[in-house]
A and B are shown apart, each in its own frame.
Chain A
Amino acid sequence: METVPIKKTYEEINARIKKGEAVVVTAEEMVNIVKREGVKSAFKKVDVVTTGTFGAMCSSGAFLNFGHTTPRMKATKVWLNDVEAYGGLAAVDCYIGATQVQEDDPLNKVHPGKFQYGGGHVIEDLIAGRPVRLRAKAYGTDCYPLREFEKTITIRDLRNAFLYNPRNCYQNYNCAVNCSKKTIYTYMGILRPHMANATYSSAGQLSPLLKDPYYWTIGTGTKIFLAGSVGVVTWQGTQHSPNCIRGENGIPKEGAGTIAVTGDMKQMNARYIRGASITGYGCSLFVGIGIPIPILNEELAYFTGIGDEEIFCQVIDYGNDYPLGQPKSLGEVSYAQLKSGQIHILGKTIPTAPLSSYPMAREIACKLKQWIQDQKFTLGIPQFPLPTIPCTITIE
């Protein structure tokens, strides 16, 4: 991080936020400002660019502590609305994962399964304040004698409820097609045979990590919008991979970076976090995340100003290549093409459909902008950087 030239410091920007003088724009607005006025002018003018994304993030879950029972119990098996939470932690702690499905779910026995209710839904229900049935079992010890416990609870009854997502906010993602002869049901949606449709799952020009492609301002300690509350980046996400294919503009053209995030579920808003049932695939969680990008130098003004037509992703066959673990790119398309409603691949015109919500991504970026303008949110200074690679882009 020492190598990142800082021309406007975090402290200066935070001081401006506190005085209500900071210039904050959303990433959509920044794209237009840079187009209209150029990078240098945009750098001088803008202090913070807000981003947003709202999509399925399967590597999500929550640490819950349901408070000591009387008599005491060391719960080893825990269920919430019949969805199992991992109990291999201390007495009344557990971790519920977003993709865990309810006991007795028929799964894919009749394909494609519906996956009506899972961990993601439990997390949404808790945040919405809805009652949830808690059930726990233990083997009993001298200090923790209770063996069974059952109670209907709400989030207010939980002593702690922290969302902890080990991999969120993928920097970029594939565009999915199906080259096989039959319809398939994937986490990239329902894909019709012979490349009859294509799906994608990124907010493109609004997406947080695409706006800071070398993770100069995003690291442990970066404060973020997390499902309607102020959360924080805790670490690199699992599978974080800065060594990816990048364009001449430095922007990754495939998966690349990820972050781990955490936040207090009691402060969250169920509008920005939703349990999901993905037909034929399983349960998941849609998570709303917004990250403020401080414009510390001209390069960050340049990156945050890059629009959909200059951000690309790879088209991957989910019919054969991806499931076999041999994904090869069938071609590259820009988010501007994807958002237009059709792409051209291998001589074919294919209708496209998004899977992450662009309107919600925009709402999150606007909300975060409002928080900063209202002096309710200041920038967190990253204390530990995410692994990265040297940047070759310089603005003269």
Chain B
Amino acid sequence: MEERKSISINVLLIFNQKIMYKPIIYRLAGDFDIVFNVLEAKILPKQEGRIILELQGKEENLQRCIEYLKNEQVQVEILADKMHRDDSRCIHCGACTAVCRTDALSINRATMEVIFIPEKCVACGLCIMACPMKAMSGIAIDKDIDNETIAQ
């Protein structure tokens, strides 16, 4: 079989109260050969658990593991699809780069323009707060999921 390249994605997993105490994540390593790295987690006892994971593995394995999580009733949000920059509002001031912890937002030193790499984003939401132009939008670990965003 052809050897496929390993890729990495950041996901937000939301565990509702019915499943939040069930062991689920450990199976990603054993059953799907996924390397996972916990980037952020927030647990509201008996209500909800949220965790942001970086998942690394072969593309088909990543797809299978996401299927598995969904079957277990975990809400899966791919963060690269969820954070959005409105390019008509962005003026490339750079205020967001003061707070971005993962270099998803960084400055091209030659042009001084702000580069946005959604794949590196962990949806901490700080750029939404830092942007004076309201150019950044999306979900964050402690923000309500916008239903319209999900529908799209």
Contacts and interface: CB of A to CB of B under 8 A. Distances in A.
B94 A353 contact: yes
A121 to B, nearest CB: 10
Interface stretch (B24-32, B45-53, B63-71, B130-138): B130-138
A357 B107 contact: no
Given A190-B98, A340-B109, A341-B109, A278 B93 contact: no
A284 B91 CA distance: 15
Nearest to A354: B94
B87 to A, nearest CB: 12
Nearest to B92: A359
Given A339-B112, A340-B109, A357 B132 contact: no
B130 A276 contact: no
A190 B98 CA distance: 7
Nearest to A192: B99
Interface in A339-353: 339-341, 353
Contacts of A355: 93-95, 98
B130 A279 contact: yes
Given A339-B109, A358-B112, A189 B91 contact: no
Contact of A190 (B109, B113, B130): B130
B113 A359 contact: yes
A353 B97 contact: yes
A339 B91 CA distance: 17
Nearest to B96: A353
A60 interface: no
Interface string A101-112: 000000000001
A36 B23 CA distance: 67
B112 A189 contact: no
Given A190-B98, A358-B112, A274 B130 contact: no
Nearest to B89: A274
A199 B129 contact: no
Contacts of A284: 132
Contacts of A362: 112
Nearest to B112: A358
B112 A354 contact: yes
Nearest to A191: B98
A37 to B, nearest CB: 23
A357 B91 contact: yes
Contact of B93 (A279, A339, A341, A356): A356
A270 B127 CA distance: 23
B147 interface: no
A279 B107 contact: no
Interface in A309-342: 339-341
Contacts of A189: 95, 98-99, 130
Of B93, B97, B107, chain A has the most CB atoms within 10 Å of the CB of B93
Of B98, B109, B130, B134, chain A has the most CB atoms within 10 Å of the CB of B98
B114 to A, nearest CB: 9
B107 A277 contact: no
B152 interface: no
B102 to A, nearest CB: 13
Of B95, B97, B109, B132, chain A has the most CB atoms within 10 Å of the CB of B132
B130 A360 contact: no
A56 interface: yes
B70 to A, nearest CB: 34
A360 B89 CA distance: 13
A284 B94 CA distance: 17
30 contacts: A54-B91, A54-B93, A55-B93, A112-B129, A189-B98, A189-B99, A189-B130, A190-B126, A190-B129, A190-B130, A274-B91, A277-B132, A279-B130, A286-B93, A339-B109, A339-B112, A341-B107, A341-B109, A353-B95, A353-B97, A353-B98, A354-B97, A355-B94, A356-B93, A357-B92, A357-B93, A359-B91, A359-B92, A359-B112, A360-B91
Give 3 nearest A-B pairs by CB, closest first.
Answer: A353-B98, A358-B112, A276-B132
Given A190-B98, A341-B109, A354-B95, 20 more contacts: A54-B91, A54-B93, A185-B129, A189-B95, A190-B95, A190-B126, A190-B130, A191-B98, A197-B99, A199-B98, A274-B133, A284-B132, A286-B93, A339-B112, A353-B95, A353-B98, A354-B107, A357-B94, A358-B94, A359-B91
